[in-house]
A and B are shown apart, each in its own frame.
Chain A
């Protein structure tokens, strides 16, 4: 019985000690009150990505396209008077708007003068109208009306239609091979992405 009483006393003593300590800590904490307000920021940056969403060749001589939809390649053996209309739909698959510009380069500066190049831009569109894409064919050749001048701002998710004509104007004296790179750049400040159409042309003299 005495042992039981002793155990109860010990428990009560411990309880009081805990209370005493808690109160002391509370008092100390109050007298040294400090607090911190916090602003926590989480930032996610966007991304830019332009791809060739669709392509159309008039006449349709065949092409190859990389799986990432970045490059369309056209190979042909051509003679004087040869011409092709290549249409592409550039899509902004990123999350931020981009500014589209164009660069044309060739592998052969000497022979590039034999070619005539013209390029027409349409858009931006959320839905491409048929008059600038579906309706155009061998019977109804580009360029359609309503063309825009570069640079063009392409909002995220929107599309830009490009029609480019390459024509071999003058008869070359000798045979040669030329690579023409038609590169489209999408930029936003220092961020940049690209897609291109490459022509591998073997010219018979």
Chain B
């Protein structure tokens, strides 16, 4: 029997190393290695479509719509339309992935604006959390100049993108400041970026103030974050709140919700309770901050 060519093995090993490095570097740029039995997915589909029109007594025009097999397209058909006829296409979109999805744009392509007026729900700049649904309506109004026996078409494109970043835990942020201060290891968030985050928090927060040199700021942040094991509930809340602030200014909270609340709402609630009390609510808000930080 002839021995297998060692070059093939070398090639396999090189490939494996290359793939591992690719994966590792991707993970590094996205907040570190995160081991989970579930992998993040991004997917969004139409799940329901219904139609109606503005006819009350007569039934002349007809509108029907169906979702394509892949769930990404609605095909709507309006027949026997006439001036002043209005058709409504009511749809529901569901985020069937595990990551939040951002609606980037809604574009209406109407080649015959003189004959058709198309309006649709503008989802732009809104987020859809995993398993969340959103409803929308498209209205097709046939205008006076529409011709008899005419054929018209339109398209609506809803552009979306996926939030593949996720909030990081208090431990992650503690490590970043620790590594930035001790200059050992390689922080995943550069020191300059960390300082920028603290400056942003400084200007927006009613609780946290970071002044002095970069080192002073980092030390103070590290001290606050290290208090999450403190027996004081106030210190624990502050530690989790600072981690949430860091996630927020890093843009890693966008699209996520915890307990039905956005990061902004939890920050607002936590700061209010820290400023005005009652102290009995510290535990609740600490839990909210912690829950959010651990979403990733």
Instruction: Pick the contact of A30: B84, B155, B161, B164 (CB < 8 A).
Output: B164
* A20 in contact (CB, < 8 A): yes
1/0 per residue, CB under 8 A from B, across A80-110: the answer is 0000000000000001110000000000000
Task: Say yes or no: A96-B80 contact (C-beta < 8 A), given A27-B26, A47-B148, A189-B144.
Answer: yes
Task: Say yes or no: A191-B83 contact (C-beta < 8 A), given A16-B15, A19-B15, A34-B162.
Answer: yes
Instruction: Give chain B residues whose Cβ lies under 8 Å from the Cβ of A67.
Output: none
Query: Which of A36-44, A54-62, A111-119, A123-131 sits within the interface?
Result: A36-44
Of A19, A34, A39, A96, chain B has the most CB atoms within 10 Å of the CB of A39
Total A-B Cβ pairs within 8 A: 159
Chain B residue nearest to A44 (CB atoms) is B79
Instruction: Pick the contact of B11: A12, A35, A191 (CB < 8 A).
Output: A12
Contact A40 B75 (CB under 8 A): yes
Contact A23 B19 (CB under 8 A): yes
* A73 in contact (CB, < 8 A): no
* A146 in contact (CB, < 8 A): no
C-alpha spacing A46/B58, complex, angstroms: 14
* B205 in contact (CB, < 8 A): no
* A140 in contact (CB, < 8 A): no
Instruction: Give chain B residues whose Cβ lies under 8 Å from the Cβ of A41.
Output: 76-78, 89, 118, 138, 140, 153-156
* B228 in contact (CB, < 8 A): no
C-alpha spacing A44/B152, complex, angstroms: 6
* A174 in contact (CB, < 8 A): no
C-alpha spacing A46/B146, complex, angstroms: 10
* A9 in contact (CB, < 8 A): yes
* B142 in contact (CB, < 8 A): yes
Shortest CB distance A48–B (Å)? 7
Contact A45 B142 (CB under 8 A): yes
Instruction: Pick the contact of B78: A12, A38, A44, A97 (CB < 8 A).
Output: A44
Chain A interface size range: 35 or more
Contact B80 A39 (CB under 8 A): no
Instruction: Pick the contact of B155: A9, A40, A95 (CB < 8 A).
Output: A40
Chain B interface size range: 35 or more
* B274 in contact (CB, < 8 A): no
Contact B15 A35 (CB under 8 A): no
Contact A40 B60 (CB under 8 A): no
Shortest CB distance B197–A (Å)? 22
* B282 in contact (CB, < 8 A): no
Task: Say yes or no: A9-B116 contact (C-beta < 8 A), given A40-B76, A41-B78, A190-B144.
Answer: no
* A145 in contact (CB, < 8 A): no
* B203 in contact (CB, < 8 A): no
* B7 in contact (CB, < 8 A): yes
C-alpha spacing A111/B10, complex, angstroms: 111
Task: Say yes or no: A38-B42 contact (C-beta < 8 A), given A30-B164, A45-B142, A156-B60.
Answer: no
* B74 in contact (CB, < 8 A): yes
* B159 in contact (CB, < 8 A): yes
Shortest CB distance B130–A (Å)? 14
Chain A residue nearest to B155 (CB atoms) is A40
Instruction: Give chain B residues whose Cβ lies under 8 Å from the Cβ of A43.
Output: 78, 81, 116, 140, 142, 150-154
Instruction: Give chain B residues whose Cβ lies under 8 Å from the Cβ of A175.
Output: none
Shortest CB distance A51–B (Å)? 15
Of A5, A20, A95, chain B has the most CB atoms within 10 Å of the CB of A95
Interface set of B (CB-CB < 8 Å, partner A)? 5, 7-8, 11-12, 15, 18-19, 22-23, 26, 30, 42-46, 58, 60-61, 72-84, 89, 91, 93, 104, 116, 118, 120, 138, 140, 142, 144-162, 164
6 A-B pairs whose Cβ atoms sit less than 8 Å apart in the complex = A34-B160, A43-B150, A45-B80, A45-B81, A190-B144, A191-B148
